[in-house]
Amino acid sequence: MNVTCRITDLQEEYVALYDTHLSTLQAGAPEAMNALRGKAIEEFKKLGIPSNKVEDYKYTNLQPHFKGELNVAFSNEAAQEGVSTDFNCQVPELQTHNIFFVNGWYSHQTDACPLPEGVIMGSIREKGNANPELLAKYYGRRAPIGTDGPAAMNTAFAQDGAFIYIPKSTVLKRPIQIVNIMTGDVDRLVFQRNIIIADENSQAKIMFCDHTLSSSKFVVNTVSEIFANESSVMDVINIQNQHNNSVQVAGYYASQKKHSNLMTNNMTLHAGLARNNVKIKMEDEHCEAYMNGLYLCDKNQHVDNFTFIDHAMPHCNSNELFKGVMDDGSTGAFTGRVLVRKDAQQTNAFQSNNNLILTESARINTKPQLEIYADDVKCSHGATVGQLDEEAMFYLRARGINTDEARVLLMFAFAYEVIEKIRVEPVREQIRGLVERRFRGEFDKCSSCVACGDVDGHLGCL
């Protein structure tokens, strides 16, 4: 069922949409998802879609982007109506377990080799119904539906998404790649809910790849809950490459247990508007978290990264690095908060945000924050905003390198500090090549599957 919503009063109209289609939202969904819908819509009534009058969204007014005629697919058939599934997504020299979603709904999956015994990978509707106790244990535990309007809205409306579970002591040798395709000839509002669980002493690498394959407007509201249990090691790589008519509001909410190691890499290579909420809570001692991000903006694009690392327990380490390159009339924002609670003694926390401004009209707002209530800690934070180094440019020019090539070399050197932190070598090299191409002006929008290097047939990104 496709429904077109004409939005006037945003909050009231979306609540009316929910009330009208509640039975459809609940049909076939796992009980854990349905159990939270009522609470979520009540919180959404209070919070609404944030404007820049909301402190946490002061640099990004989302309300105008949720207005207009937006098509909501309330069934898998409606989401994939008229859509070809003849696309392939592979990183050269990297075998992955692939799972594909079209307009927020499960499409199909392909495996380079069989999954290890006990690993669950698939649609949250199917796998959640098959594993109700496991889903109920984790679903909704990290998504901040009481404080964040988009998270509450997602919890009320989402019907499908990815369910990934890595059982105890299982090492997943090949990454899991979650490919999110937005396509179709109508403007769409898409909800997707993902849950990723790494059980005790397990290891996994998860890649999110977000693509638009048609020129329609897409407003995407995604929530991903991530759980790194005791002694687990997990990498979460998020790669956004969407056209200028896309709006993505993405929340990544993670929880860590004792001796876990979690690295997030958030790479925004192209988007019309992207708002990324990346939040990690260390719920136990001896956790390690690494949070990295790179955002590239040109034209009139806007990227807003809002991060939060919560040191709730002692003896934990975190290291955060976000870098941005702003060109043309683009705008960006970085708000990074590190909280060290009273009992979180012997915490090490380091945060840095660096930005390169290439034109006089590009703008960036940066706000790094440390909030410390413990006294035995080592913490630092900082931010820089600047232009290309004239002395470095002169040095390169003096050695026969032309201005354009020198400019590309300096921009790439700036960005590579983030790229090199990706712990999957073929993906790191693929991103390296794509970023270099972007700096050389060889493409200003997705011409192929960004993380994967190729999309078969006529469905190349627009």
Task: Give the count of domains, the chain.
Answer: 1
pLDDT at 441: 75
Q: Shortest CA distance to 209 belongs to which of 181, 183, 182, 179?
A: 179
pLDDT digits over 50-108, tens only? 999 999 999 999 999 999 889 999 999 988 876 655 555 555 557 889 999 999 999 99
Q: What per-residue confidence (pLDDT) applies to 447?
A: 42
Within-domain flag for 445: no
In a domain, 450, yes or no: no
- Cβ of 200: how many Cβ atoms within 10 Å? 16
33-61: pLDDT as tens digits: 999 999 999 999 999 999 999 999 999 99
pLDDT exceeds 80 at position 451: no
pLDDT recorded at residue 290: 98
Amino acid identity for residue 45 in this structure: K
> Does 266 fall in a domain?
yes
Share of the chain above pLDDT 90, in %: 79
Distance CA 134, CA 356 (A): 44
Domain annotation covers residue 372: yes
Report which DSSP code applies to 304.
E
Task: Please say whether the beta carbons of 253 and 238 come within 8 A.
Answer: no
444, part of any domain? no
Interhelix angle for 31-47 vs 149-157, to 10°? 140
pTM: 0.92
Q: What is the pLDDT of residue 390?
A: 81
pLDDT of residue 63: 96
Sign of CA dihedral 101, 106, 112, 114: positive
Could you list the residue range(s) of the whole structural domain that residue 93 is in? 2-439
The DSSP letter of residue 414 is: H
Task: Give pLDDT tens digits for 300-329.
Answer: 999 999 999 999 999 999 999 999 999 999
pLDDT of residue 460: 28
Pick from 210, 126, 134: which is nearest to 165 by CA? 134
In a domain, 121, yes or no: yes
pLDDT, tens digit, 9 for 90 and up, residues 216-259 = 999 999 999 999 999 999 999 999 999 999 999 999 999 999 99
Which among 57, 59, 50, 53 has a CA at the least distance from the CA of 363? Answer: 59
Q: Is the pLDDT of residue 452 over 70?
A: no
Residue 9 CB partners (closer than 8 Å, separation 6+): none
Sequence length of the chain is: 462
Radius of gyration of the chain (CA): 21
Domain for residue 161, yes or no? yes
Closest to 310 (Cα-Cα) out of 344, 276, 269: 344
Q: Please give the mean pLDDT across all residues of the chain.
A: 90
461 is a domain residue: no
